[in-house]
Structure 1
Amino acid sequence: MLSLFEFFRRQRKAYSGNLGRLSLFRDKLANYSVNFKDTQGVLDRNHSSALYNEVSAQDIATLERLTGLCGQELKDHVLNVQNQAYAIGPWPCVEGLYFLKGHMKNHPFYSTMLGQAEKSDALLCEVATFMGIEVRKAIMDGYPASNIIGTDLHQGFIDAGFSLFGDRVGQRPAFVSGDFFDSALLNLDASSPVSELTDEKLNLKQLNSLTPLVGRCTFVYAALFIHLFDLKGQREAIKRLAALLKPEKGATVFGRDSNGVTPGTAHLLDPAGQRVMLNMPAMSAGERKAAWEDALGAGTVSFEQIDTPEDDLYLSSHIRGAASVKITWALWTVTRL
């Protein structure tokens, strides 16, 4: 199993030279070295069991439908897959069992997206799909599986999703792995102009990159992704996400990221109101709106943002050894006019 230091060392090597995006990973390494100092890359089964017991009844019901398991059998299965994923990378999302908790269903745009699911060409691409709970929940709610694809940096997390949900090979959703900032996954220079694209329906399961999707996605979803990078990297991520969007009215990119009350800082507070732990370079609503308008064209899109209450404990008692902290989230939506 990778130590936390080795995991981030490999992350640093993998992202070397890409827009200075590793500055945040270095910050994370410095902070996590304290919060994870006693874990040594090994999960506490009792701790994980307690966290599982806190998963909402709605999310458990979704897991039961997707896996065909229930009760203790489901719990044991989930915790075994958690160990598999933690060996790939000791992310807080793994330890906190956030791969079980789909957030797209709670986004204000979700019902609108489902209402357009009958359109034969309404492609949905999820960036940073992790183990794929979001795409599977969307399919369960009626979105055509043939029109959904997910992508993640690590194929190992996608494979862990196959283990978790037990998809039959022929019935698996479409996924492709790779570095979203790498031209091997998404080459904006080599892609054909949108005007030259044919109406031929893509077989998403045959894709080995996202390049054929440039200008062809009606919906793009990216949650807990953009805020991973420094501000320069965030703007580049927005530019690349925007490139996937179809040039038609109603095409929408939406997601969820940490919400900076003061531009340039994330809203992570301890009970006394002091900022602690990670200093994620979160965009303010104004900065986020400006970045999307720069990518898609001022006056051509609408931007909406809803801030969550301050009781969403993403980095709190869920992480052993961490301080008790709170974080707010920005649920944002960008739609072509």
Structure 2
Amino acid sequence: MAQMLDRPAPDGARSVSWPWYHHLLTTELTPDARTILEKYSGIAPEDVESHIYSVRDKAWGIFPWPCVGEFWFIRFGLALHPLYKTMVLPRLQAGSSMLDLGSCLGQDIRKCIVDGAPAENLYASDLFAEYESLSYDLWRDEDVFRPGQFFADDILADNDLFTRGPLMTQIGPGQLDIISITMFLHLFNWRNQLRAATRILRLLSHKPGSLILGSQAGSVNAGELPLKPPFAATAGIDKRTVFRHNPESFERLWTEAGAAVGVPLRVTAVFQAPDAFGKGVDSGFDISPKDKKYVTGAETRRLYFSVMRV
């Protein structure tokens, strides 16, 4: 399988000494996250923090993603997209379907449900099947977002495996009105981003206006970025890179993907406003100043995007 990373985790990746492993909750536990955990999930206020730590330890055991170390599973990135309130949520409330691809613990799905989207039209998918049960540990909503709406699948699998996988057989090609890929594509190099994009387009509805959207780490100067240890190399791969986009390269990627599968697209990609970046306002890199230089650079930006079928 052409997985983004091969398990087991690279040597040393599970160490809690990496700068992206935050030992204590600070700004990650937003008022919105606390409210949802208390009111939607029914966690007692005095138990919220211990509940989050417990889930994080389990998620770290599944795979030590930096986003897990940084508690991103209680941040609602999709809701911060400029189109969320004006386009995504109204469509969902009216009955449109949505897949959250690379869903982790389904935090964006739960935010949509809390905001009034019918749960039965929402789907989640991730590489790790264990995330389904762990998401229920976190959100305690098996009676709302029901089992069977999560699909463990590999978007980069060989074509025959992907075609026979749950996304293509249980949801089916051309069935999804909206696909969210928040903090997802930036895990891959250009070649695998293009492969993922063509697969995503196969799942998207044929109706004009069908929408792919999200946000991810970007760079003023686009290009392949070598990963640092411990993710610099995995089994069978001596050196790993990820492609960081600027708006122009992101549009080029999807133009190429659309041409490959014969889907006409309108692509929009913009950097987050510079005055918001680095101030704890959805920068995507809310970590302590002493660690920021390790994880980011002067060229790093948050990229918001939408890809619409026309």
Name the stretch that deviates more: 207-216 or 79-88: 207-216
Partner of 2:237: none
Q: 1:79 to 1:322 in 2, by over 3 A?
A: farther
Q: 1:181 to 1:280 in 2, by over 3 A?
A: closer
Is the counterpart of residue 228 in structure 1 residue 202 in structure 2? no
| TM alignment of 1:36-115, pairs within 5 A | 39=16, 47-48=22-23, 50-52=24-26, 54-111=28-85, 112-115=87-90
Structure 2: which amino acid aligns with 1:245?
Answer: L
Distance 1:214 1:336 in 2: 15
Partner of 2:254: 292
Partner of 1:201: none
Once the 2 structures are TM-superposed, how far is the Cα of residue 53 of structure 1 from its aligned partner?
Answer: 5.6
Q: Is the CA contact (8 Å cut-off) linking 1:51 and 1:318 kept in structure 2?
A: no
Per-residue CA deviation, residues 122-164 of structure 1 (Å, 9 max, x unaligned), is 2101100000011111111111111110000001122211101
Partner of 2:97: 123
Q: Is the CA contact (8 Å cut-off) linking 1:95 and 1:319 kept in structure 2?
A: no
Secondary structure of 1:209's partner? helix
Q: 1:319 to 1:81 in 2, by over 3 A?
A: farther
Distance 1:227 1:280 in 2: 6
Once the 2 structures are TM-superposed, how far is the Cα of residue 72 of structure 1 from its aligned partner?
Answer: 2.3
Q: 1:279 to 1:316 in 2, by over 3 A?
A: farther
Structure 2: which amino acid aligns with 1:117?
Answer: L
Distance 1:226 1:146 in 2: 26
Once the 2 structures are TM-superposed, how far is the Cα of residue 322 of structure 1 from its aligned partner?
Answer: 7.7
Name the stretch that deviates more: 286-295 or 318-327: 318-327
Q: Is the CA contact (8 Å cut-off) linking 1:248 and 1:336 kept in structure 2?
A: yes
Partner of 1:248: 207
Unpaired segments ≥5 residues, structure 2: 228-239
Secondary structure of 1:223's partner? coil
Once the 2 structures are TM-superposed, how far is the Cα of residue 108 of structure 1 from its aligned partner?
Answer: 1.1
Structure 2: which amino acid aligns with 1:213?
Answer: G
Structure 1: which amino acid aligns with 2:69?
Answer: E
Q: Is the CA contact (8 Å cut-off) linking 2:55 and 2:137 kept in structure 1?
A: yes
Once the 2 structures are TM-superposed, how far is the Cα of residue 209 of structure 1 from its aligned partner?
Answer: 3.4
Distance 2:98 2:293 in 1: 36
TM-score by length of 1: 0.72
Matching residue within 263, 266, 271 for 2:222:
263
Matching residue within 156, 163, 168 for 2:130:
156
Partner of 1:209: 167
Partner of 1:8: none
| TM alignment of 1:132-143, pairs within 5 A | 132-143=106-117
Secondary structure of 1:287's partner? helix
Q: Is the CA contact (8 Å cut-off) linking 1:152 and 1:178 kept in structure 2?
A: yes
Once the 2 structures are TM-superposed, how far is the Cα of residue 175 of structure 1 from its aligned partner?
Answer: 0.4
Q: Is the CA contact (8 Å cut-off) linking 2:56 and 2:71 kept in structure 1?
A: yes
Q: Is the CA contact (8 Å cut-off) linking 1:158 and 1:175 kept in structure 2?
A: yes
Is the counterpart of residue 317 in structure 1 residue 251 in structure 2? no
Same amino acid, percent of matched pairs = 22
Once the 2 structures are TM-superposed, how far is the Cα of residue 250 of structure 1 from its aligned partner?
Answer: 1.0
Write out the 4+ residue segments of structure 1 that deviate beyond 4 Å after TM superposition: 318-322
Per-residue CA deviation, residues 235-273 of structure 1 (Å, 9 max, x unaligned), is 11111111111111211100112112112056x9xxxxx
Distance 1:241 1:303 in 2: 14
Partner of 1:218: 177
Q: 1:303 to 1:209 in 2, by over 3 A?
A: closer
Once the 2 structures are TM-superposed, how far is the Cα of residue 172 of structure 1 from its aligned partner?
Answer: 2.5
Distance 1:305 1:289 in 2: 7
Secondary structure of 1:126's partner? strand
Secondary structure of 1:108's partner? coil
Secondary structure of 1:186's partner? helix
Secondary structure of 1:125's partner? strand
Per-residue CA deviation, residues 153-187 of structure 1 (Å, 9 max, x unaligned), is 00112221110111235752610112112257631
Partner of 1:180: 155
Distance 2:54 2:291 in 1: 19
Secondary structure of 1:179's partner? coil
Q: Is the CA contact (8 Å cut-off) linking 2:101 and 2:125 kept in structure 1?
A: yes
Q: Is the CA contact (8 Å cut-off) linking 2:176 and 2:203 kept in structure 1?
A: yes
Once the 2 structures are TM-superposed, how far is the Cα of residue 65 of structure 1 from its aligned partner?
Answer: 2.4
Residue-pair matches, total: 281
Unpaired segments ≥5 residues, structure 1: 1-13, 191-206, 269-277
Q: Is the CA contact (8 Å cut-off) linking 2:103 and 2:126 kept in structure 1?
A: yes
Structure 2: which amino acid aligns with 1:294?
Answer: E
Name the stretch that deviates more: 63-72 or 136-145: 63-72
Q: 1:238 to 1:171 in 2, by over 3 A?
A: closer
Which protein shows a greater Rg?
1
